[in-house]
Structure 1
Amino acid sequence: MLLGSLDLQKRNKIEPLLHIVVWISLFLFIWHTAYTIGPFRKQDGSIYFPLVWSTCLSIMLFYINALFLIPLYISKKRYKHYFVYLILLYVFTVLLNSILDQLYSISLFSTEKESMWSDIAMNIQSKTIILSLSCGYGLTKLWIQNQEIQQQLVKDKLSTQLKYLKAQINPHFLFNTLNMAYSSATKNNDVVTAEIIEKLSGLMRYMLYESNDDKVSLEKEICYIDNTVKLQLQRLSPELASQVNYKINGEWQNHKIAPMILIPFIENVFKHGIILSQRSDITISIFLKGNILVLETKNYKFEHSIQENNSSGIGLPNARERLQLLYPNQHILEIDNSGSFFNVRLQIKIN
């Protein structure tokens, strides 16, 4: 992993230098080999200015297409948008180059007049070559990035499986211990303790045995979240628990979702939004509209939670990465951390 990141850093440093060398070499090659470009001549220096801005416009065409249009539209399979904007960019570049040639260089420097159409034809030829190279570079770069993402996913999956296997022993031991504690609490008629142990045991059972698939029943996932929230409320005092506004609403049957995708945001609320000495206004809302699942959370930002969020918290960054991998272009995550409250709104399009 470290070696791969170092190679990527070297490539990111070397690649811009190579581009600069290529463009300068192209400019010097044309400058030294071309004696005339249309009516412009090398002998009287009239070729210099058209060559400068033609190169600048070619660079603009090349990189806007390769680094902006292709990643933005081709990677998301929005081909119609891509071709519309590409044609507009291409026509704009050709016309601007031709207008600059006609209005500035030909009128001031050249003794040989050339019609606008012949100048446009010449710019179409040069810009078509640049555009072809740009498409080749942009699509190749996009393919390499997709390959790197796939390789990283394989590495992450193997790493996750290894960590899971290492962690299996302790959860099983704890799970069996909880069953023993539940039996003991039941025998001694300790109903509250037995209920807490039963909920905790159910959470662990779901995590160990039922959340290993790529997609799980949304109904079971909501049940897991519901038990988690209720267990959190049970550990709070009645006064603090009354400050938590918790709502779920929807027909969860016949839907599936990636397991444990919502829980980091809910855990974050209880981790950073509860303090015993102050009022803790918390809102957790989960509802389903058609095939759009919406999670909304809100908690007051205390000083200790701000420091923890700014230091080493990894829950939310990991949640963002999972959403990008599991629901690309199918989710909207909005986090507002600007005021006194920490607000999260997550929309996921589920099957």
Structure 2
Amino acid sequence: MESNYYMIHDYLISIAVFAFLFLVIIIFFILAQNKKLRNNNKQITDSNRLIEQRLNEVQLEHIGNKLNPHLFKNILNSVQSHAYQTYSSLDKLANVLDYILYESNDKFVSPKEELNFALSLIEINKIKINPLFDFRSKSRIDKSDATYDLKIFAPLLCVDLIENAFKHTDFLAQDSFIAISFELENRIFTLKVSNKASKKNILEKENSGFGSQSLEQRLKMIYGNHYELKRIPKNGIFTAELKINLGEYYDQVRYFR
């Protein structure tokens, strides 16, 4: 009787050990499969990211090819309108064309290079306005900022806001003005442009064409949620402000490399 008891006891222990080992094997199998699925998902995610990046690059190239001819036309019109200042105009024009033909072919430039380009573009546009016109321009650039010389700024982003200010300003109004300010501080770039505009021009800006749409597309594709673009018409004054958190964008890009 006692021997039967021990036999049953040993048998139950053997079943328990077998069940435990079987459970361990199942757990290891599930973990292995889970790891394999995670790796597959990571590969799929990486592939999708590469495909999306390539599509963005193709779209950006397409947008850039449309943007440059419009910029050329506006610059040449400015130079032509004041032939007596041709020498100075051509000097600034040379800087702008060099930037468009060479630096803008790169996916990124530095904030320093974009700023120099924007200042030359402003000087060219100033040719067509009266010397007594109320034009204000200021820069607060921290040259020791960590992003100042980094190639993380998409070229020609400043064009749309600057060109629109000169294009849509009501130069005949007594209180007419254009104010442009640049700022680079704490790894954040800010361009703010304000001008006196007629009601008609404000409506045109609110329903602006290719230039504004392409700017929005480029900013969204390149900087994602690391930028902010505001366009505010108020009391006959149109204000556009572009703010890009270059620091956050650089940290994100560096993390995924």
Against the structure 1 CA distance between its residues 191 and 251, is the aligned structure 2 distance closer, same or farther, given a 3 Å change threshold? Answer: farther
Q: Indicate the residue corresponding to 1:237 in structure 2.
A: 130
1:211 to 104, 109, 112: 104
1:305 to 181, 188, 201: 201
Against the structure 1 CA distance between its residues 306 and 152, is the aligned structure 2 distance closer, same or farther, given a 3 Å change threshold? Answer: farther
Q: Within 5 Å, which residues of 2 pair with 1:149-160? A: 154-155=54-55, 157-158=57-58
Q: Which amino acid aligns with 1:211?
A: S
1:281 Cα shift? 1.8
1:306 Cα shift? 2.6
2:91 to 198, 206, 228: 198
Check conservation: 1:249, 1:288, Cα contact below 8 A. yes
Query: Which whole-Å deviations, capped at 9, do the CAs of 1:137-167 have from their partners, x for residues lacking one?
Result: xxxxxx99x95x9767645644664687799
The aligned length equals 191
Against the structure 1 CA distance between its residues 325 and 342, is the aligned structure 2 distance closer, same or farther, given a 3 Å change threshold? Answer: same
1:210 Cα shift? 1.3
Query: Which whole-Å deviations, capped at 9, do the CAs of 1:63-114 have from their partners, x for residues lacking one?
Result: xxxxxxxxxxxxxxxxxxxxxxxxxxxxxxxxxxxxxxxxxxxxxxxxxxxx
Q: Indicate the residue corresponding to 1:325 in structure 2.
A: 221
Q: TM-score, normalised by structure 1?
A: 0.46
1:254 to 129, 144, 149: 149
Check conservation: 1:255, 1:350, Cα contact below 8 A. no
Q: Which amino acid aligns with 1:251?
A: D
Q: Within 5 Å, which residues of 2 pair with 1:10-159? A: 154-155=54-55, 157-158=57-58
- The two structures, once aligned, show a CA RMSD in angstroms of 3.7
Q: Indicate the residue corresponding to 1:285 in structure 2.
A: 181
1:234 Cα shift? 2.1
> Take 1:163 and 1:262, find their aligned partners in 2: how far apart are those partners?
15
Gap runs ≥5 in structure 1: 1-142, 182-189
Q: Indicate the residue corresponding to 1:72 in structure 2.
A: none
Gap runs ≥5 in structure 2: 1-43, 248-257
Q: Which amino acid aligns with 1:332?
A: E
Against the structure 1 CA distance between its residues 197 and 150, is the aligned structure 2 distance closer, same or farther, given a 3 Å change threshold? Answer: same
Where 2:132 maps in the other structure, the secondary structure is helix
Q: What percentage of aligned pairs have identical amino acids?
A: 26
1:246 Cα shift? 0.7
Where 1:245 maps in the other structure, the secondary structure is strand
2:162 to 262, 266, 290: 266
